[in-house]
Structure 1
Amino acid sequence: MNIRKAQLTDIETLFDIRTRVIENYQSREEIAQLGITPETVAEMLQTDCRAWVAEIESKPIAFSIANATEKTILGIFVLPSLERRGAGRALMQEAEEWLFSQDITEIWLLTGNNPKLRAYGFYLYLGWTPVGVVTNGEMEGEMKFVKTRK
């Protein structure tokens, strides 16, 4: 498996992977309603965000994206047929290391507030701490996790 920094030419691939997941599925239309479009992702990647792509035999299978200004991991998405091969863990490590290298001491992310969700357990396994449920805004009801630089 190869992990590399995403380029602007990867944006369509990121959307393809994002819209093929099963857990936390959202269509392109639903994602666009949140203000996430190829154009906004391009702008993000040229400013305060970075994304990484996991590949097997040069084929993209997963990606992560982080925002240094917001001090957050925006998401990790893996093609369902290629889950449980270490891509999520490797991408999380890249995102965490990059955020902490930006002189950030505490980072955060949001996920569904259901301990039965695989993502919820995945973040716990990787040392993230749940700190509470978002109580307002478009992410209301999501669980906030934090991790502090060691």
Structure 2
Amino acid sequence: MNTTIFREATIQDIPQMAVVRNAVKENALSDPSLITPEDYIEFITVRGKGWVCEVNKQIVGFSIPDLVDNNIWALFLHPDFENQGIGRKLHDTMLDWYFAQGKTDVWLGTAPATRAEQFYRQSGWKQNGMYGKEVRFEMTKTDWERIKQSK
């Protein structure tokens, strides 16, 4: 039987978070060394906060919002654990915390024609142009509260 736990990310989780980040099939990093352990530390301890999902003590997904640039720095799920509601719970937990910090809007970029793009559209994010080669999505606190009430 699988034991699934959602909790705040710690510095000790970073090696497993990097494994998940590098395992994705879409939105893959062209060079995994572009994101360092120090980057993770900064984003989960200074710029925002992170959450992980563990299945049988192995991290399979994580999310990190950035309070400085008002965006989503990371929401990644290991491909072997898709379609189980894990990404949705990480997403919702992250947005609840982010907006509770007094923020009124947040944005993210994701590659076009991906499952992530479809996930964000279905989650109520609104497209607002492009961010480089990525689709730029935005969510307001008002929209998030409305979405939560309709669930």
State TM-score, norm by structure 2. 0.86
Distance 1:118 1:63 in 2: 16
Measured in 1, the distance between the counterparts of 2:93 and 2:65 equals 10
Give the paired residue count: 139
CA distance in structure 1 between the partners assigned to 2:61 and 2:50 by the alignment: 11
Aligned to 1:124: 121
Partner of 1:7: 10
For structure 2, the 5+ residue unaligned runs are 143-151
Aligned to 2:136: 144
| Runs (4+) off by over 6 Å | none
Distance 1:97 1:86 in 2: 16
Q: Quote how far apart the aligned CAs of 1:14 are.
A: 0.7
Question: Of Structure 1 and Structure 2, which has the larger fraction of its residues in helix?
Answer: 2
1:137 aligns to what?
none
Matches within 5 A, 1:68-147: 68-114=67-113, 117-134=114-131, 140-147=132-139
Q: In structure 1, list runs of 5 or more residues that go unmatched.
A: 135-139
Q: Counterpart of 2:22?
A: 19
1:67-95 Cα shifts (integer Å, max 9, x gaps): 11111111211111111101110000111
Q: TM-score, normalised by structure 1?
A: 0.86
Where 1:40 maps in the other structure, the secondary structure is helix
User: In 1, are the aligned partners of 2:43 and 2:64 still within 8 Å (CA)?
Assistant: no
